[in-house]
Amino acid sequence: MAVKTESKNGLMVCYIEGDVDINSSPDLKKIFDKLISKKTPKIVINLVKVPYVDSSGLATLVGILKDMRAYGGRMRLAHVSPKIKSLFEITKLDKLFEIMASEEEAISTFT
């Protein structure tokens, strides 16, 4: 798993590539802990290159969202595959996360 970050329109876009699972979740948490420690106000997580998310990956994403909300930060998910989106729906996490069809849509919802 790899994460690339890029500043766009006053917010941070994070591109995750690879599985978000029990093996990669600790590394993902460390990366986002750095952004959270800086109180990054708006983050879009682009999942276009994420083929698989397991329960520990979901827990990590929930933790990131919780930590951001603690200081008033906001997060959107973008380009979530139908397979992964159904996982969010089954677990009812689609009610917790703001899931957008595209990165552009996710960015535009912040303005």
| pLDDT, position 6 | 96
| Number of Cβ atoms within 10 Å of the Cβ of 68 | 20
**Tens-place pLDDT, residues 34-84:** 999 999 999 999 999 999 999 999 999 999 999 999 999 999 999 999 999
Q: Which domains does the chain have, with CATH numbers?
A: 2-108 (3.30.750.24)
Quote the CA–CA distance of 84 and 70 in Å, as a whole number. 26
Q: What is the pLDDT of residues 5-32, one digit of tens each?
A: 999 988 999 999 999 999 999 999 999 9
Contact 31, 20 (CB under 8 A): no
